[in-house]
A and B are shown apart, each in its own frame.
Chain A
């Protein structure tokens, strides 16, 4: 087990470092000179002197590995510099963390919706393969997977906000400021529907696998009640799938946030990333992507270790 954990931790560290190298090089070779972008004006006569001074200050005249080292030491300390395109002189780290905090309500609510609906639906469908109920659940989960989340979001807005007027069409809270639960319902449902689709499929196939195994037949044979077999024997093993699925969900949350926040004008990390990309604010882009990427790697690591702990067969693969 220790060897397994050590191997997975090392692998994650490697991926993290490699990811940082990729991001660093993408920035260095991005269209446009970093110092020009930072200074915010193009190459006219006056700018030239300022640019040379700035290149020296940024260390752009040093060899590339020295530059990477400098960059990494700054990043590790959480120093991403300041942004000029999204407010004058705002600290990038503060900005990204603030936006990430605002993304949290949607993510948590969507995850809750995903887990609360998909586990029972998966159990119901997986224990009754090829019945009407199974087909209905399968059709619903296929809808969640196949319908683009921005379309689902717009349809929800159309029906519940425009037609019925129950919820606001967009925004984080009332105009006066602050957060409102009312505003959370539609974006969280949009992201939630997508998660339910994916998770239900996993839960169903996990349940299907377990239900046809020998030990379940034994449990039936010794005369246990049907639901006792399902809930006490089958579910325990089928839930193993859920551990992996939570890691998958996390990736879905990250990407879903980008699209959903854009649909609902929700001022979170996803919307920040899109805005920063459009304004070529590379500092903000790298900070947001590094935050998302490292948390994705971390969650995957935890899920793998948990899985290896719960299911010893995994460790020896």
Chain B
């Protein structure tokens, strides 16, 4: 018993302090019902996509069941060549989530490095990096992605690459702004005076302190990336057939819209649910990580 009081006032190791911070964040997050729901739904979607179990072969056409309406056998119906829509939505989700996650991973990494370097070194390095990012921002996101895909050629990899370039600036800006103020802090000067290298200061000293806005951006921009991927696939410039993607499934459905309402409805719903879930997660994380932002 006395031990416990001692622990509470005694010196705390850095590791457990960090763990305590994340425990605090989790406690805040857990009380947000929308965020918990969003998290659960997103985990479920990821699980379904990773496991990849489908009731039917998503590319197999059952010619006895063309444009079959939703039933116990085909819960989301079949498409114009008799392919099971539920199976295609599952595999399409795997494709869309993978493109989104990979694109955000690339853009977050590039953006964080660009922001750290720009903010830490300042002067002309900062100017050069920021001027380059301004050009990326000169076009609205989807338009830039379209332009890049136009020259790279339509494919899954190129769509992913285009999306990751589009999303570099938001990370770079957030990290740069934080780095600008953090590099003036005493602990950074202390680190420099004991001879820590620039790279070490940037990644071990500054990056951990700017992590929370990055995490929030990741969840919010992932939802936007999934929307952009869906739009590219819908326009026929992303994932190529016969691989299903949510966007291209809806493009295929257009011709049969007066015969089969289920063809556009379910893939669109899948996108919608994913994006909403990610939005809830993002809002929840923002409030959990920065209590000042909490709504009164």
Interface residue ranges of A103-148 to B (CB < 8 Å): 129-130, 142, 145-148
Q: Beyond the given A14-B131, A158-B257, could you list 18 further A-B residue pairs with CB under 8 A, ordered by the A residue number? A: A18-B134, A26-B148, A129-B296, A146-B275, A147-B268, A149-B231, A151-B272, A154-B264, A155-B268, A158-B264, A162-B261, A254-B143, A255-B140, A259-B235, A274-B236, A278-B236, A285-B147, A293-B138
Q: Known: A129-B295, A151-B250, A251-B140. Is A19-B264 also a contact (CB below 8 A)?
A: no
User: Is the beta-carbon distance between B146 and A297 smaller than 8 angstroms?
Assistant: no
A223 at the interface (CB under 8 A from B): no
Task: Judge whether A258 and B143 touch: CB under 8 Å.
Answer: yes
Nearest-Cβ distance from residue A85 to partner chain B, whole angstroms: 13
A31 neighbours in B (Cβ, 8 Å): 151, 153
Residue of B nearest to A286 (CB): B147
Is there a chain A Cβ closer than 8 Å to B61's Cβ? no
The 8 closest A-B pairs by CB, nearest first: A151-B268, A251-B140, A255-B142, A146-B275, A277-B150, A154-B264, A18-B135, A30-B151
Least CB separation from A157: chain B residue:
B257
Bound state CA distance, A259 and B265, in angstroms? 17
Q: Is there a chain A Cβ closer than 8 Å to B189's Cβ?
A: no
Q: How far, in whole Å, are A252 and B230 apart by their CA atoms in the complex? A: 16
Q: Is the CB of A258 within 8 A of B142?
A: yes
A212 to B295, CA, bound (A): 12
In the complex, what distance in Å separates the CA atom of A296 from the CA atom of B134?
A: 13
Report whether A26 and B147 are in contact in the complex, using a CB–CB cutoff of 8 Å.
yes
Q: For residue A147, give the distance in angstroms from its CB to the closest CB of chain B.
A: 5
Q: Are A296 and B147 in contact (CB under 8 A)?
A: no
Q: How distant is B112 from chain A, measured CB to nearest CB, in Å?
A: 23
Residues of B close to A262: CB separation below 8 A: 234-235
Binary contact track A155-172/B, C-beta < 8 Å → 1, others 0: 101100010000001000
Instruction: Kindly provide the distance from the CB of A277 to the nearest chain B CB, expressed in whole angstroms.
Output: 4
For B227, give its contact among A14, A130, A148, A169 (CB under 8 Å).
Answer: A148
Q: In the complex, are the beta carbons of A146 and B279 less than 8 A apart?
A: yes
Within 8 A of A (CB), among B117-152: 131, 134-135, 138-143, 146-151
Q: Is the CB of B235 within 8 A of A289?
A: no
Q: Which of B228-269 contact A (CB under 8 A)?
A: 230-231, 234-237, 247, 250-251, 253-254, 257-258, 261, 264-265, 267-269
Min distance, Cβ B265 to any Cβ of chain A, angstroms: 7
Q: Are A277 and B149 CB-contacts (below 8 A) given A130-B295, A169-B257?
A: yes
Instruction: Please name the residue on chain A nearest to B137 by beta carbon.
Output: A15
Which B residues touch A273, using CB under 8 A? 146
Interface size class of A (residues with CB under 8 A): 35 or more
Cβ contact within 8 Å between B268 and A148: yes
Complex: chain B residue closest to A147, CB-CB: B272
Nearest residue, chain A, Cβ from B272: A147
Asked whether any CB of chain A lies closer than 8 Å to the CB of B223, the reply is: yes
User: CB-nearest residue of chain A relative to B236?
Assistant: A278
B202 at the interface (CB under 8 A from A): no
Complex formed: what's the CA distance from A258 to B131 in Å? 27
User: Does A263 belong to the interface (CB within 8 Å)?
Assistant: yes
Please indicate the chain B residues that have their CB under 8 angstroms from the CB of A155 in the complex. Answer: 264-265, 268
By a CB distance below 8 angstroms, the chain B residues around A75 are none
For B264, the chain A residues whose CB sits under 8 A away are 151, 154-155, 158
A142 near B279 with CB under 8 A, answer: yes
Given A145-B279, A150-B234, A277-B146, residue A19 in contact with residue B138 (CB < 8 A): yes
* Chain A residues whose C-beta falls within 8 Å of the C-beta of B269 in the assembled complex: 151
Residue B276, interface by CB 8 Å: yes
Contacts of A251 in B (CB 8 A): 140-141
Residues of the A chain whose Cβ atoms lie less than 8 Å from the Cβ of B149:
277
Assess whether A292 is interfacial by the CB under 8 Å rule.
yes
Are A148 and B138 also in contact (CB < 8 A) when A162-B257, A274-B235 are? no
Given contacts A148-B231, A297-B138, contact A154 B250 (CB under 8 A): yes
> Given A18-B134, A155-B265, are A146 and B146 also a contact pair (CB < 8 Å)?
no
CB-based contact B257/A252 at 8 Å? no
A211 CB to nearest chain B CB (Å): 11
Task: Kindly state the separation between the CA atoms of A293 and B254 in the bound complex, as whole angstroms.
Answer: 30
B interface footprint on A1-42 (CB within 8 Å = 1, 0 otherwise): 000000000010011101100110011011100000000000
Which residue from chain A places its CB closest to the CB of B230 in the assembled complex?
A148
Question: B174 to chain A: closest CB distance in Å?
Answer: 16
B271 at the interface (CB under 8 A from A): yes
Q: Which one, A22, A149, A289, contacts B135 given CB within 8 A?
A: A22
**Residues in B whose Cβ lies below 8 Å from that of A29:** 151
Task: List residues of chain A with CB within 8 A of the CB of B234.
Answer: 148, 150, 259, 262
Residues of A within 8 A of B135 (CB): 15, 18-19, 22
Bound-state CA distance A145–B278 (Å) is: 12
Question: Which residues on B sit within 8 Å (CB–CB) of A30?
Answer: 151
Asked if A154 and B143 sit within 8 Å, CB to CB, the answer is no
Cα–Cα distance between A251 and B137 once the two chains are bound (Å): 11
Chain A residue at smallest Cβ distance from B280: A142
Query: Which residues from chain B contact A23 at a C-beta distance below 8 Å?
Result: 147
A162→B271 contact, CB < 8 A: no
Q: Determine how close the nearest CB of chain B comes to the CB of A198; give it in whole angstroms.
A: 12
A297 vs B63: C-alpha distance when bound (angstroms): 52
Contact B140 A254 (CB under 8 A): yes
Can you sample 16 A-B contacts with CB below 8 Å?
A14-B134, A15-B135, A19-B138, A29-B151, A150-B251, A151-B267, A151-B268, A154-B254, A157-B257, A158-B257, A158-B264, A258-B235, A259-B142, A289-B139, A292-B143, A293-B139
